[in-house]
Structure 1
Amino acid sequence: MTDKAEGEETFISHLFELRDRLIKAVIGVAIVCAGLFFWPGPAAIYDFIASPMIASLPVGAKMIATGVIAPFLVPMKVTLLIAFIISLPWVFYQVWAFVAPGLYAHEKKLVLPLVVSSSLLFIGGVAFCYFFVFGRVFSFISNFAPSSIAVMPDIENYLDFVMSMCLAFGATFEVPVVVVILVRMNIVSVEKLKEIRPYAVVGAFVIAAVVTPPDVVSQLSLAIPMCLLFELGLLAAPAFARATRTPEEAA
């Protein structure tokens, strides 16, 4: 068999492996989603997601649905979103299982902790957004609204807002992982990152101003954790680099 044929066979086998891993990831999300459909159910899940907004509204006020099928479709989307978040460790494990056979032992030491920490940080960012940020943001907006305005949020707009905010917080909570990767790949040193710390702080506030609503509460709620997570990355990067050194680097 020629080298070209062997290369094509290897490429095809990798495609089959990628397909199998994607199918397993989708099946994992589907199983979690099916479980959530049975308990506690899409309606209860949406009520849970909407509780920070409902708590900030006047007593007896409710959200509204302007679309005909919105009361059915929106809870389904929320359930799928929650299922994906819960399944993130399984999805990232499939990514790890796909790339692991082609890695050296010291590279596996690098990838597996990053997969685990990325999952935990993303879920932590979403949880921080829901339990800490939403209540304060909605209360601030409700208190700021004039008394002549009846605040009745639409459930579809609320879902879009929740998804964008959760995605923003989940992604920005990956800052320590980004710092660790940059240092471990020798792209930039810890000393250099410490030198540009003031620029990183300014960048955190700029990003917060772009991805969050135009209110001080949500912007500070994102910018301050980003700064703290940047410092966490600076502390973790040297230890992680020592733990994942190659044999040549150790020698």
Structure 2
Amino acid sequence: MSAPAPDHALVARLRAAGCVFAEEEAEVLRTSASSPAHLEDLVRRRIAGEPLEYVVGWVAFDGGRVAVEPGVFVPRQRTAYLVELAAPPLARGDTVLDLCCGTGALGLALARRVPGLVVHAGDIDPAAVACAARNLAEVRGTAAVGDLASAFSPVLRGTVAVIVANVPYVPTHAVALMPPESRDHEPRGTVDGGPDGLDLLRRVAALAPGWLRPGGTVLSEVSRAQTPSARAAFADAGLAATVHHDEEREATVVSGRRSL
């Protein structure tokens, strides 16, 4: 069956509103609407500047859908690179912690790739935790409110195979330069990483050795310019640090491995 013909009028409205990927967004809006009236409501919200993911209630991420609630950080497509790096060593029954989980997209994506994982997600924001719990129910994962590892039971210390931490890493002075969709709609705490953007990453690096099992790995996304400082933070915590970069997606990840 051929794809439906594009709605040129809708595409033109979205493009005039500044939507760079107007044709793709038009198709998402059309397939998410239950009626012409509903479609018009969705389009008006999008044209007013509301992020597409909030408008339709989901985002495509790592080959699957993830539910997104207004006020919760929207997973970026480049962050799927972190999932690709984290998944290969995992096996059924392994434990994964998803810190600063937002929607729980990272833990969910890993559990979809590796069935049978035990996923625990945590976030300081109750709205994010509620959204993550909704998503992780599919893979029998859990989500809890807490500041980083305080969301998890101490019995997990020393047993975790992988920690994924999509920490905020935009330097405070650069937040004002972010696209309006993020700056005006996502909570500042989900993007503002402090003076150099690495406040939360340093805390994650410091706690990771106590939670990882021997040979376990922690992974966080950073900007390319932050890699020397991020690598140093992991190394200072006693982790074997590695920088990974994907040119096509302009994605950079720093990983830290606990020694065997």
Which category describes the TM-score, using the shorter chain as reference length?
Answer: under 0.3
Q: TM-score when scaled to structure 1?
A: 0.25
**TM norm structure 2:** 0.25
Q: Which has the higher contact order (CA 8 A, sep 6+)?
A: 1
Larger Rg: 1
Say which structure is richer in strand. 2
Identify, as 1 or 2, the structure richer in helix. Answer: 1
